[in-house]
Amino acid sequence: MAKKRKQLPLLEKVPVTGVAAEGKAIARVDGMTVFVPYAVPGDVADIQITKKKSNYAEGKVTRFESFSENRADPFCEHFGTCGGCKWQILPYGEQLKYKQKQVEDNLTRIGKVELPEISPILGAPETTFYRNKLEFTFSDKRWLTEKEISSGSEPRQMDALGFHIPGMFDKVLDINKCWLQDDLSNQIRNAARDFCLKNKFSFFDLRNQSGLMRTLILRNTSVGEWMVIVVFYEDDAEKREMLLNFLAGKFPQITSLLYIINRKANDTITDQEVICWKGREYIVEEMEGLQFKIGPKSFYQTNSRQAYSLYKVAREFAGLSGSERVYDLYTGTGTIANFVARNAGKVIGIEFVEEAI
């Protein structure tokens, strides 16, 4: 006989008091910490416990009794399903405040480290369209939204190009508009998806390891250069040429159009051959007059403007006088090494991945 599952409690009118990691808020009930997503400090809600341990619990909101004065309206149509940008419901200033508190708590309360006064977080000037890299997945297992399911009608098609659903490794949410990267990213992704659907290109089946289309990687720089990497699973030259020529013709903004045929079980491309279809094999980023070549396997901080702010602080903290030898470990594109080179006697960058340099 199967063991009867224990019924977990529904907690009513629980005040949400804090913010934890991974996009979860904190409530405290009878001395126990409860982690709950999609709530903000100041909310009062009914919380259904979904997991209970000896010293904490996890739950989900079933009803809001009242909303926090600090709650913001989410701006993305995919919020709550996609799994990204979980703090759209909390104003950015409040996000910074709680992030600073988390850092201080982790170091002092948990790590038992005595700290001097911590400088305030340097907030980003832009909170949308700031990323310089996104990766989208082609899948034949499209995630159905609650609206689609409740309609009772049969889905027209099950292919998707977008992001993996949290906790569902083979399910992908079809993305219409993402606010993370410049809007040209949305145009390229949607055009690629629609072209593949129109021409009946097969989308990747992760469980059975089959299908033509696998992933789409988009990179851009602050000077307006774009890299598009199309990753195929099957080696079909005719269909590959159709899609690449379509993208090249429709989007003259593309500086570097590349493709990969990845027959592995995982999506990593560091060990894959990258073939240049049109344009350069790299794009260029600029910082204080320095130019950096960014290739398909290069690591670069995904928020270019905040990377610049970070590097300036690091250079200031280093207090270089012009005679020092500086080692930049895991140098990648060499941004930090070159950024401090004018202030040092010698800079040495060390990198394991040759293609990342």
- Tens of pLDDT along 313-323? 999 999 999 99
Identify any residues that bridge with 219 across adjacent strands, giving them in sequence order. Answer: 133, 227
- The alpha carbon of 53 is separated from its chain's Cα centroid by a whole number of angstroms, namely 29
The token pair at 90 is: 């909390």
Residue 61 main-chain phi, psi, to 5 deg: -75, 130
Average pLDDT of the segment spanning 289-299: 92
Q: Once rounded to an integer, what is the mean pLDDT over residues 246-260?
A: 99
Closest CA to 205 of 259, 163, 236, 169: 169
CA distance 2 to 47: 27
- Name residue, tokens 């934890």: 20
Residue with more model confidence, 23 or 139:
139
* Antiparallel, parallel or unpaired: β 346-350 and 325-329: parallel
Q: What is the mean pLDDT of residues 52-69?
A: 95
Where does the chain hold its CATH 2.40.50.140 domain(s)? 10-95
Q: Can you give the pLDDT at residue 150?
A: 83
pLDDT at residue number 252:
98
| Tens of pLDDT, residues 259-282 | 999 999 999 999 999 999 999 999
DSSP, collapsed to helix, strand or coil, labels residue 347 as strand
pLDDT value of residue 4:
64
Whole-number Å distance between alpha carbons of 329 and 20: 31
User: To the nearest whole percent, how much of the chain has pLDDT over 70?
Assistant: 99
Mean pLDDT, rounded, of the chain? 94
pTM of the entire predicted model:
0.91
List, for residues 167-218, the tens digit of each pLDDT value: 888 899 999 999 999 999 999 999 999 999 999 999 999 999 999 999 999 9
Question: pLDDT band at residue 352, thresholds of 50, 70 and 90?
Answer: confident
Using the 8-state DSSP alphabet, how is residue 125 labeled? S
Residue that has been written with the tokens 């030898």 in this structure = 325
Which residue did the predictor score with more confidence, 335 or 66?
A: 66
CATH of segment(s) 10-95? 2.40.50.140
Residues of the chain with CATH 2.40.50.1070: 133-281
Residue 108 DSSP class? I
Written as one string, the DSSP assignment of 281-345 is S-EEEEETTEEEEE-TT----SBHHHHHHHHHHHHHHHT--S--EEEEET-TTTHHHHHHHTTSS
Alpha-carbon distance of 143 to 83, in angstroms, equals 12
Distance CA 152, CA 148 (A): 7
State the pLDDT at residue 3.
60
Backbone angles phi, psi at 266, to 5 degrees: -120, 170
Cα separation, 267 vs 137, in Å, equals 9
- Please name the amino acid found at residue 32: M
Q: Return phi, psi of residue 49, to 5°.
A: -70, 130
Yes or no: say if 16 and 70 are a contact pair by the CB < 8 Å rule.
no
Alpha-carbon gap, residue 299 to 285, rounded angstroms? 12
What are the backbone angles phi and psi of residue 275, rounded to the nearest 5°? -110, 130
- pLDDT tens by residue, 83-130: 899 999 999 999 999 999 999 989 998 899 998 888 899 999 999 999
Identity of the amino acid at 222: S
User: Per-residue pLDDT for 357 more than 90?
Assistant: no
Determine the pLDDT at residue 214: 98
pLDDT at 142: 96
**Per CATH, domain 133-281 is 3.40.50.300:** no
Q: What is the mean pLDDT of residues 31-44?
A: 96
